[in-house]
Structure 1
């Protein structure tokens, strides 16, 4: 299935063709610069061959690639199923221009601007057939057609990247590369709302964590008709931006008790839906405490380790909890449509640009929060 036009919430299984990698074509250099992970904390920009691509794959000249908290885990060597050190290029939030296409690709042509979803499922397992390809049962098995760009296969911290045609979307001309990077992030929030079966018109919703995922999700909750959108976090600059992007109220958890404040804002009833996008180990308990009886909690964050919270309290309140990973269910295409209409703002979240050669400095800035980074992008 192509994502150049149309939309669908499921994917039909397609056989994986025999791989006949296509060599570099005229006008495309034989070598490129790429960031390669040589060991925990050891990422270097080196010369690599332009990647070959299969009959259903597309070679893209990368314009920009975002860096996020998941990349910090990858950089530290704490992310599962990545390729071997010394061979692997991370980067899973990228956008660019089509340079060449595989022999079976007619949905795109060289010169088309594209954005991506990182995950392409195998297309043949039970989860992929029902649109849950971020939970592909053949996750990490390239031989069966699965690829997660920048996670289980080489990604976008490079001048060129390869991806399956089904995981590419045409980027409208009036949207910037920065918008294209954040569209992938927006797909994560939309998929979470989709997975939680959250028809939130008229409901009270809170988002914990004003990072890129949280801020894009705030915008979507506003667009989807939530009655009250509350954003909770620790950094004033991000909370202020959240107000500009659609939050009705913000809660600085360093200055006030988030449970007391959110219960006050909801008249003591609590939230219909609480979205956990912070990854803070203490936040799941806050979520339980502020969610009303019979409400929902959606977890979209990754955590640095195991978390503890009062599960019995959630059970007594008859709270339903959901998790979702990545940007499944064709929700990136929906995010493209929202961005194209001007209703979803991504570029405003980008605070720092670094050339590929300075990727080590970019990660230092993210880790040390130097200069209050929100979304850092790498430009090859």
Structure 2
């Protein structure tokens, strides 16, 4: 049997024991070692899934999955280039006959084995999945950063050598973007946050940011102007979730002919946005979309990622409530740059 956390879609969850299945033809079974927690898991808990195809309930959440191949069919072994015992990162998206489906979001626990999310001791890898070999010499919970990093690697595509990059939001996605921006050639990385983000802003400096700005204590536009000698940023990556005001701020932080990447989910309309900013200042807007798991895993395997600093805190499955409280920033007196579950 495999223990699993199940979200019901109504802000309730339960712990279930599910049978471990045999692999489907062209598939495998993964022994999950660790899974990172994401802000989208909070929305999932509340019954809202950020996918165009809707999500499913009840379901096992978790999509930042690292584990070891426990059983695999010959077809999958040949296609994926892995064998039993290999440690792998699981790409979120499975290309199934029913369409693209995301582990931890789009599979109901009541279909098939039900083991289609990372908050469980086993994951059924269906045909159409993709996995990538990961190094063996680091703890698995550190390696779950591959998933946010795979997003960040795509977000920094507009970054050119020598660019000044501003990253709005020091959440775990913003932290991964610091690493990705430096790897892409950014000369200076500036991270903005609020007063409640002090712990995370300090961590951003340890991870590789050159400057951090508390927007509650100083004017971010004037501070970026000071840092850049008036040139402003070549690329602004809005990785802040929740408040859409950061989109307007991004337009003020970028220089003429620069790039703005909109990545953080806002969940409400933006007021005060002037589309004239785009043609008159020749600003290029980019969607914060896409995943480059292969690129992220390569950075990790090559030792270019401070995985220990990016981990934050990790908990065993039986302490899920503590982990989730820290994720939602509802633990008095504590904050974390990132939260993960250890499954084995």
Q: TM-score range by the shorter chain?
A: 0.7 to 0.9
Matched residue, 2:72: 101
Cα deviations by residue, 1:96-150 (Å, 9 ceiling, x for unpaired): 1111113412222211111122123x3xxxxxxxxxxxxxxxxxxx433522111
1:172 aligns with 2:126: no
Q: Check conservation: 1:219, 1:344, Cα contact below 8 A.
A: yes
For the 8 Å contact 1:210–1:231, the answer to whether it is kept is yes
Q: Does 1:192 align with 2:163?
A: no
Describe the shift of the 1:38–1:60 C-alpha distance in structure 2 as closer, same or farther (beyond 3 A).
same
Q: Could you tell me the TM-score, scaled by structure 2's length?
A: 0.88
Quote the Cα distance in structure 2 between the aligned partners of 1:342 and 1:253.
33
- More off after superposition, 167-176 vs 291-300: 167-176
CA distance in 2, matches of 1:365, 1:249: 26
CA RMSD of aligned residues (A): 1.8
CA gap 1:247/1:253 in 2 versus in 1, 3 angstroms: same
Tell me the CA shift for residue 46 of structure 1: 1.0
- Following superposition, the deviation at residue 161 of structure 1 comes to 0.6
Gaps of 5+ in 1: 1-30, 123-141
Q: Does 1:84 align with 2:48?
A: no
Q: By how many angstroms is 1:365 displaced? A: 2.4
CA apart distance, 1:58: 2.1
Structure 2: segments with no counterpart, 5+ residues: 108-115
Return the offset for 1:166: 4.7
1:89-238 alignment runs, 5 A limit? 89-106=60-77, 107-120=81-94, 122=95, 142-153=96-107, 154-164=116-126, 166-194=129-157, 198-234=158-194, 235-238=197-200
3-state secondary structure, aligned to 1:368: coil
Which whole-Å CA distance do the structure 2 matches of 1:316 and 1:160 have between them?
Answer: 53
Residue 302, structure 1, aligned to residue 265, structure 2: yes
How far apart, in 1, do the equivalents of 2:329 and 2:135 lie?
A: 35
| SS in structure 1 at match of 2:144 | helix
CA contact (8 A) 1:57 1:105 kept: yes
Measure, in 2, the Cα distance between the counterparts of 1:113 and 1:163.
14
Displacement of 1:369: 4.1
Of 326, 331, 341, 2:302 maps to: 341
Tell me the equivalent position of 1:332.
293
Q: Deviations over 1:313-348 (max 9, x none)?
A: 233211110013252xxx221222211222112232
Q: 1:74 to 1:33 in 2, by over 3 A?
A: same
Across the two proteins, how many residue pairs are aligned to each other?
322
Distance 1:44 1:326 in 2: 32
